[in-house]
Amino acid sequence: MSLHQLVYLSQSTGKPGKDELAALWAQAKANNARIDVTGSLFYNGGWFMQVLEGSAATLASLYDKIGKDPRHHDLRLLYNEPAAFRTFVRWTMNMTNLEERQADKYQELIDIIEAAKTGRKIYGVSPAVTLLNTFKA
Ligand SMILES: Cc1cc2nc3c(=O)[nH]c(=O)nc-3n(C[C@H](O)[C@H](O)[C@H](O)COP(=O)(O)O)c2cc1C
């Protein structure tokens, strides 16, 4: 399998509450387990940022499906590259709601999402790469 990693940013439609985020998370986890996809989903202030890992073909159709979901819009593909290994091995889909400020990498993640929103680089690299490196360390 040719492993790929894909990162995108999108804007949520409305302000999803805890229950809506939990439902989305459960749905993603169940589906991703079936198609051997791992990754992480971050939510903050009306913005989603998601990492998806799996075969290139699987990610292409999953990204297409996710892009049609009315719960968000304005998807911006930030990264879609081959990878030597998975960064989120343990997670069919980890979910971090930064509005609850529970993440140990809280400030770092907020900065990455802010940079992605404005198309700014962080120390010369794409915020998507910084995001992946934050967890690869
Ligand atoms: C921000 C966001 C992230 C999502 N992530 C995933 C995902 O990782 N995997 C997945 O299968 N569906 C994901 N979905 C849901 C899909 O868009 C779609 O609703 C779902 O896969 C349909 O599931 P079903 O085929 O079981 O009805 C996501 C939706 C949103 C809004």
Q: What is the pLDDT of residues 110-122, one digit of tens each?
A: 999 999 999 999 9
Q: Whose CA is nearest to atom 12 of ligand 1?
A: 28
- Asked if residue 122 lies in contact with residue 112, where contact means CB atoms within 8 angstroms, the answer is yes
pTM to 2 decimals?
0.96
- Ligand 1: residues whose CB is within 6 Å? 24, 27-28, 31-32, 41, 48, 50, 62, 65-66, 69, 71-72, 93
Domain range list for the chain:
3-136
Round to whole Å and give the CA distance between 26 and 32: 10
Residue 137: which pLDDT band, with cuts at 50, 70 and 90?
low
Q: What is the CATH number of domain 3-136?
A: 3.30.70.100
| Mean of the per-residue pLDDT values of the chain | 95
Mutate to test the pocket of ligand 1, among 15, 37, 66, 72 (most ligand atoms within 8 A of CB): 66
HEC-encoded secondary structure of 4-58: EEEEEEEEECCCCCHHHHHHHHHHHHHHHHHCCCEEEEEEECCEEEEEEEEEHHH
pLDDT above 80 for 123: yes
Q: What is d(CA 123, CA 17) in angstroms, rounded to the nearest whole number?
A: 34
Q: Could you give the percent of the chain with pLDDT greater than 90?
A: 93
> Packing angle between helix 127-136 and helix 106-118, nearest 10 degrees?
160
Average pLDDT estimate for 101-112: 93
68 Cα–ligand 1 center, Å: 9
Beta-ladder partners of 26: none
- Other residues' Cβ atoms within 10 Å of the Cβ of residue 20: 13
User: Which residue has the least CA distance to atom 3 on ligand 1?
Assistant: 66
Distances, alpha carbon 60 to alpha carbons 13, 38, 55, 67, 107, in Å: 23, 14, 9, 11, 31
